[in-house]
C-alpha cells in the first residue's frame, strides 16, 4: 500500500511537471512566431528606408530646374485631381 501511494504521488508530480513543460513549450513557440514576424517586418521597413534614402539621393543629385519642374507637375496633377473630384462629387 505504501509503495502504491508513493507511486501515485510521484506520478502526480511527474504529470504536473509534464503539464508545466507543455505550457513552456507553447510559450516558446509563440515567442518564436513573434520573433519571425518581427524579422519579416524589419526587412520590409529596412527596404522602405533604403527606398527613401535612394529617392533622397536621386533628388539631391538633380539640378534645381528638374526639381522645380517636378514640383510644378505634381501641383498641376493635384489641381486636376481636385477638379475631377469636385465635378464627380
Do the beta carbons of residue 79 and residue 86 sit within 8 Å?
A: no
Confidence at residue 58, expressed as pLDDT on a 0 to 100 scale: 81
Q: How many other β-carbons are positioned within 10 Å of the β-carbon of residue 13?
A: 10
Confidence at residue 89, expressed as pLDDT on a 0 to 100 scale: 61
Q: Is the pTM of this model over 0.85?
A: no
Q: What confidence tens digit (pLDDT) does each residue in 42-59 have?
A: 999 999 999 999 888 887
* Residues recorded for the chain: 89
Please choose, from the candidates 70, 89, 52, the residue with its C-alpha nearest in 3D space to the C-alpha of residue 78.
Answer: 70
Which residues of the chain register pLDDT less than 70?
Answer: 89
Do the beta carbons of residue 26 and residue 34 sit within 8 Å?
A: no
Confidence at residue 25, expressed as pLDDT on a 0 to 100 scale: 95
Q: From the centroid of its chain, how far is CA 32?
A: 14
Amino acid at each position: 500500500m505504501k509503495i502504491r501511494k508513493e507511486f501515485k504521488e510521484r506520478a502526480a508530480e511527474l504529470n504536473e511537471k509534464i503539464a508545466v513543460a507543455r505550457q513552456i513549450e507553447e510559450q516558446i513557440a509563440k515567442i518564436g512566431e513573434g520573433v519571425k514576424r518581427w524579422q519579416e517586418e524589419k526587412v520590409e521597413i529596412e527596404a522602405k528606408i533604403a527606398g527613401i534614402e535612394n529617392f533622397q539621393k536621386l533628388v539631391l543629385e538633380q539640378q534645381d530646374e528638374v526639381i522645380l519642374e517636378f514640383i510644378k507637375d505634381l501641383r498641376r496633377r493635384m489641381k486636376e485631381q481636385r477638379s475631377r473630384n469636385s465635378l464627380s462629387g
